[in-house]
Structures are given as structure tokens and as C-alpha cells.
Structure 1
Amino acid sequence: MTSPNSGEPVSGVESAASAPADGPEPGAGAEAPAPPGHRWGFGAFLLVEAVLLATATFVGVLISRGQTPGSLPVRDVLIGTMAPTVIAALTALAITRIRGNGPLTDLRLSWNWADVKVGLRFGVLGLVCTTVGVFVWTKVVGEQNATSAISALVANKPMSVSAAVVMFLYLWLLGPICEEIIYRGLLWGATERLEWGQEKWGRLAAFLLSTAVFAMSHLEPLRTTLLLVIAVPIGLARLVTGRLLGSIVAHQVNNFLPALAILLTALGVVAA
């Protein structure tokens, strides 16, 4: 746009100042209104947790058929490991569709290279914390008690290459996505929605609660303290970026070395 007298371009500020006071011209672009808040809260999270536990129980009974965990075939170990978390995450996504604006808006799930970089940094920090934490925790409770439930299931259980790769990809990539949707997506959003008097709980309360619930929800009492150490950098990535991608990337980076260790153990490359 140019000035009618001089032909010089008019700045955006001057142009806006010269606009009619009764509103923008017909056809002028206006900022889109913010989407309405979601209508789901803690009830939705508790429903997803119930789905997770019920699915894990059902699948466990279905595949065990009187067998001990150590005697389960590899296919059943894969199903029992992946199905409950995947189904629970899909339930969480469905809730955001039915009771909100969908996962992209309600869970703040969007692609952003800046979030990826933050997630990588916190993921590396998480790896350092996890390595130190595992070393200290093993000294305190013993190597056998410090082993995760998944590691115990695949210990001394040779796998085909395809089964081992599926397990590796789940533990490294898919599992973190599902868990982040549930804990730092659905639970985080439910916590931010709560009010204390006239004030909302906010992001810090969401960080603290989701970190604690994430650690306890694994149902491994001896490893809860260690899981808290692991969860803090992941939650910080969500807190700093304000979006879910950062914590997903941090979680995936943190899971890479443990998943790789399980892959190499399952293939018999390294001793259990």
C-alpha cells in the first residue's frame, strides 16, 4: 500500500491506524478465534487408566493359560507388552475427538523442529540421569530387583530377528508416543483444567502430578524411585516447550539404549 501524496509505502502500523474505527474492511483477514476448551478432565484419564489395566489383565489371562511368565512364547510376550498401552492411547485420542477439539489442539501435538531440539537435549540429560540412577539403584537393591518387567520377560528368551526388531521399535519409538499421549497429554491437560479457588493449577502442577503418576503407573514398586528420576527430564521437555512433541522425543531418546540392550540380549549378541 502507498501513501496517496508521496507514493511511499505505508507501514503496517500506519495502515492500521488509518483504518475505519468501526472495524476491518469487508474481506480483510482477521485472526481466527481460539478454539473452545476441551470438555474432558480427570474422568477421561481415569477411564484410560481403567482401559489400560483391564486390557493388561484380559490379555494376561488370555495368553498365560497357566504358563509362567518365563515360559511364554515370544508372540505372546509382544502382544502382552504392546496391546494394553496402544489400546489405552487410542482411547485417549478418541476422547479428545469426542469431548474436545482433537489431539492436535487438546494435547498440543504438532510438529516443530525447535521442540525436537529441546526434546533431544532433555533426552540426553535423561540418559545421563538414567545411567547414574540405574547404577546407584542396582547397588542399593541388587541387580535382579533393579531389572524392569520387560527385561525380565525377554531374559534368556531367544527371539527371531523380526520379533526382536518389533520389540526394539516398540520400546524405542511407539511405546513412548503412547505413554506421552496418556500422561503428558491427557493427564497434563486434565490437570491444567483444574482450579484451586479462582486460580487454575497450571503447568507446574501438571508437571509434578504427571511425573509422579507416570512413575507409579508402571506398577513396579521397587523401581518407582528410579522411574521418577527417569520421568523428570521427560516432563521438563513438556514443561519448557508447552507441547507434547518435546516430551515424546525426550522419552524416545531416553528409551533408546535400554531398548537396544534388550534387542542385543534377545538376539543373543550379548549375555543376559
Structure 2
Amino acid sequence: MNPPDEPPTGLIAGVRAVGREPSPERVGQRWGFGAFLLVEAVFILSAVFITAIASTNGTDPFGSVAFILIGSMVPTVLAAALAVVITRVRGNGPLIDLRLSWNWADVKIGLKLGLLGMVLTYLAAVIWSRIVGTDNATSAIGELVDGAALPLGAAIAMFLYVCFVGPICEELIYRGLLWGAIERQGWSQWAAFVLTTLIFAASHLEPLRTSLLIVVALPIGIARLITRRLTASVVAHVINNFLPGLTLLLVSLGVMPG
């Protein structure tokens, strides 16, 4: 029999266990929703600050390669780093508090749900673009690089961010820190899944794309839900972001039309 913090491995076993086992205890965790709100505030304020600095220096924020890289990456990385620091100062560290323990079974589940999410995202994006129109179907990062001839190094850096760095940071914040804050309140795993999915979608600050982002977030959240660890959701998020990241790379290099 598996201990409370070690749910059954495997996709089917994990699904069956959801709702039957209590949320894991969070002994030694002295942070909650306040920590998440602080991290979100740092994310938003740093993005505003970078934009303001670029504008005051006479730089076109939407045409500068430096702004595209810094404005896209720094706020998310800074917020995720703060989340890790909070768990070290006010808890047991990220491995315990953010459920970062490694498990190959979680990797397999993440791969399966990531591939499923890739298909769902593609289908949802096709339907959604037909509803809102192709002119309104571009993401915030897509709008930044659209029309900007990025150097090879910058294009590769953006690809690595979209496919790997961004997903890891976002998982630390939403299905790590926020999920942990919800668990600390004694709420159910399903409540954590629903709330993190909705907040993740809304936090991108792209109202037109919120419904699409909810679809994107569902398989990623399910990976976290059935394994109770962050590894599976990180893998699912990375797989789900691969095609958009590759497309962004090819468009920014001028290989594909925007």
C-alpha cells in the first residue's frame, strides 16, 4: 500500500486514486495564498517596469530584440525564483513543498498527457481561430516576434524559453506554489485542479485567449492531479509547448510566414 504522499504509479491507477485519498499533509509549510499573491505581483510589476524602461529610453518595445527577450523571460523567471525562495525561507524547500520529487512513472504519465494535450490544443486552436478570426488568434509572445527579424541566437533562446524554461517556471508558480496554498487550506484535490486551471489561464492576461488556455491547461493539471507531484505536469507542459515553440522559432527566422 502506498503512503499518502506516494499515490499509485501509472495513469489508470492515478485516475482511480483521485478523490479517494486525502490531500497530503503540509508539515512545516508556513506559506499560503499570500506567497502566491506576492509572486504574481512581482511578475506583473516586473513586466510593467521593463516596458516602462524600454519606452523611456526611446525604444520601440515591440520592435526591439532585447525587449522581446527580456520582457518575455525575466518576469516569469523572476517570479518562479521568488516562489522557490519562499519555500526555502518559509517551508521545507521546493522539493518537498512544491512536490518536485523525481519519478520515472510520472515522466511517462506526463508524456502521455502532453501528447494528448498537444492534439487537444491543436484542435481547440483551429476551432478557436475560426471563431475569433486568424488576426486575433496570435498569443502575446507571438505578437512580439511577429514581424521582428530575430537573430539566430535570439530565436533559439526564445524557442528554449517557450518549450522548457517557461513551462518549468509556470509549473513552479501555479501547480506548485498555488496548488500548495490550496492544499494547505484543506481543500480537495479537485478544488486545487479547477482553481489552478482557471487562474493559470486568466493570469496570462489575454482575455480573448482565456478559453483556449483553459483547454491547454486541462491535461497539464490532470497530470498534477493524478500523480500529486510536479514532474508529470512539467513534462506535459513541455510536450504541449513544443509545437508552438517550434512554430515560433520558424516564424521568427522567416522560414514560415507569420
1:13-92 equivalence runs, <5 A: 36-65=27-56, 66-70=58-62, 72-92=63-83
Q: CA deviation at 1:61?
A: 0.7
Residue 172 of structure 2 corresponds to 181
**Letter aligned with residue 59 of structure 1:** I
Do the aligned residues in 2 keep the contact of 1:119 with 1:237 (CA within 8 Å)?
yes
Do the aligned residues in 1 keep the contact of 2:29 with 2:97 (CA within 8 Å)?
yes
Higher mean alpha-carbon deviation, 98-107 vs 152-161, is at 152-161
Aligned residue for 2:50, secondary structure, equals helix
Is 2:126 the partner of 1:135? yes
Residue 147 of structure 1 corresponds to 138
Do the aligned residues in 2 keep the contact of 1:168 with 1:259 (CA within 8 Å)?
yes
Do the aligned residues in 1 keep the contact of 2:54 with 2:61 (CA within 8 Å)?
no
Residue 15 of structure 2 corresponds to none
Q: How many aligned residue pairs are there? A: 233
1:218-233 equivalence runs, <5 A: 218-233=204-219
Q: Could you report, residue by residue, the CA deviation over 1:143-176 in whole angstroms, capped at 9, with x for unpaired residues? A: 1111101001101111111110000000000000
Specify every segment of 5 or more residues in structure 1 that has no aligned partner in the other structure, as ranges.
1-33, 195-199
Residue 154 of structure 2 corresponds to 163
Q: Distance in 2 between matches of 1:211 and 1:37?
A: 26
Q: CA RMSD in A?
A: 1.2
Residue 253 of structure 1 corresponds to 239
Residue 198 of structure 2 corresponds to 212
Do the aligned residues in 1 keep the contact of 2:183 with 2:192 (CA within 8 Å)?
yes
Summarize the Cα distance change of 1:148–1:169 in structure 2 as closer, same or farther, 3 Å threshold. Answer: same
Aligned residue for 1:111, secondary structure, equals coil
**Letter aligned with residue 165 of structure 1:** I
**Letter aligned with residue 229 of structure 2:** R
Do the aligned residues in 2 keep the contact of 1:35 with 1:101 (CA within 8 Å)?
no
Q: CA deviation at 1:134?
A: 0.5
Q: Distance in 1 between matches of 2:30 and 2:173?
A: 16
Q: CA deviation at 1:202?
A: 2.1
Q: Calculate percent identity across the aligned residue pairs.
A: 58
Q: Could you report, residue by residue, the CA deviation over 1:50-90 in whole angstroms, capped at 9, with x for unpaired residues? A: 111111111111123355443x2112110000000000000
Specify every segment of 5 or more residues in structure 2 that has no aligned partner in the other structure, as ranges.
1-24
**Letter aligned with residue 166 of structure 1:** A
Q: Could you report, residue by residue, the CA deviation over 1:21-43 in whole angstroms, capped at 9, with x for unpaired residues? A: xxxxxxxxxxxxx9833010000
Q: Distance in 1 between matches of 2:37 and 2:101?
A: 25
Q: Distance in 1 between matches of 2:257 and 2:193?
A: 38
Residue 93 of structure 1, aligned match among 69, 84, 92: 84
Q: Distance in 2 between matches of 1:232 and 1:46?
A: 22
**Letter aligned with residue 180 of structure 1:** E
**Letter aligned with residue 227 of structure 1:** L
Q: CA deviation at 1:227?
A: 0.3
Q: Distance in 2 between matches of 1:136 and 1:153?
A: 23
Residue 4 of structure 2 corresponds to none
Instruction: Choose 1 or 2 for highest CA Rg.
Output: 1
Q: Distance in 2 between matches of 1:240 and 1:122?
A: 11
Do the aligned residues in 1 keep the contact of 2:36 with 2:177 (CA within 8 Å)?
yes
Is 2:95 the partner of 1:109? no
Residue 248 of structure 2 corresponds to 262
